[in-house]
Amino acid sequence: MKLDKLFTKKRFIFLALFAALVFIGNRINFSALVGAENQYFTMFQFFGPIAGSFLGPIFGSVSVLIAEIADYFISGKAFSLINIVRLTPMLFAAYYFGTKRKSIGVIVPLLAIAAFILHPIGRAVWFFSLYWTIPIIVKMLPKKYSQNVLLKSLGATFTAHSVGGATWVWAIPMTAGQWTALIPVVAYERLLFAAGIAGSYVIVNTVLDKITEKLKWKIPADILHIDKRYILSKKLFKTHA
């Protein structure tokens, strides 16, 4: 495929738009991460994965990566293992949210579980990794459920959590007790993140629908996919096979 067909003007506009949104959200702290100083979950967690649905899993992940790299250099972050590790989880979440393929949504959490349990501390708190069966279960559900925005949001945020957790256990020294104490915190945070992802998806979906309609843009779905089921002026959360 020719580059001018792949990187069209409209695709570049929306790629840059989502990269800008991710960049802004990444600079608003939400809660501190346990085990490392000056590391935070940000507002990025509440909407980062939705790029995968609008731009497609590949370009959605690319927009997230562009924004994260830009934030990395503009913020002057140190070139450290922890900062490099933190670039990856949301890429997988964006891909999960945007793809309809079951295999990717299953393989990534399974690999994360295996990597976590291979670590001595992870093996002692193996039950912590049961959280990462959630994205697997969501992907294995019938299509009308697995493609529901609320369940996709839950699967996406736990996909990010699985990748982050599997790398965190190897990169950051933590005790089994610390991991165990995180179990209720994870439930609270991830439910909030899932609700935020679903809500932001509906809002952005509605805004993009109105903008493209007003400008009379005819945009192919492979460049920008707008789901008519999730527009605020329509009936929300309607599922179908």
User: Per-residue pLDDT tens for 129-163?
Assistant: 999 999 999 999 998 888 899 999 999 999 999 99
Confidence of residue 113 (pLDDT cuts 50, 70, 90): very high
Q: What is the pLDDT of residue 236?
A: 47
Least Cα distance to 126 among 180, 174, 163, 75 occurs for: 180
What's 33's DSSP letter? P
Q: Note whether residue 126 is domain-resident.
A: yes
Strands 40-42 and 29-32, by their bridges, are antiparallel
Check pLDDT > 90 for residue 184: yes
Our measurement of the distance from residue 49's CA atom to the centroid of its chain's CA atoms, rounded to an integer in Å, reads: 3
Check pLDDT > 50 for residue 71: yes
Report d(CA 162, CA 116) in Å as an integer: 9
Q: What is the pLDDT of residue 181?
A: 94
Report d(CA 208, CA 224) in Å as an integer: 9
Check pLDDT > 60 for residue 41: yes
Q: Note whether residue 218 is domain-resident.
A: yes
Report d(CA 73, CA 208) in Å as an integer: 29
* Helix, strand, or coil (residue 219): coil
Q: Note whether residue 237 is domain-resident.
A: no
Strand partners, 135: none
Confidence of residue 109 (pLDDT cuts 50, 70, 90): very high
Q: What is the dihedral of CA 149, 54, 205, 218, to 10 degrees?
A: -140
Q: Note whether residue 44 is domain-resident.
A: yes
Check pLDDT > 60 for residue 235: no
Q: Number of structural domains, the chain?
A: 1
Least Cα distance to 72 among 90, 63, 62, 84 occurs for: 84
Domain that holds residue 151: 3-230
What's 45's DSSP letter? G
Q: What is the pLDDT of residue 51?
A: 85
Our measurement of the distance from residue 128's CA atom to the centroid of its chain's CA atoms, rounded to an integer in Å, reads: 20
Q: What is the pLDDT of residue 103?
A: 86
Q: Note whether residue 10 is domain-resident.
A: yes
Check pLDDT > 80 for residue 36: no
Residue bearing the bigger pLDDT, 34 or 94: 94
Confidence of residue 7 (pLDDT cuts 50, 70, 90): low
Check pLDDT > 90 for residue 180: yes
Strands (E), the chain: 29-32, 40-42
Q: Note whether residue 156 is domain-resident.
A: yes
Q: Note whether residue 235 is domain-resident.
A: no
C-alpha torsion sign, points 152, 158, 159, 161? positive
Check pLDDT > 60 for residue 2: no
Q: Note whether residue 198 is domain-resident.
A: yes
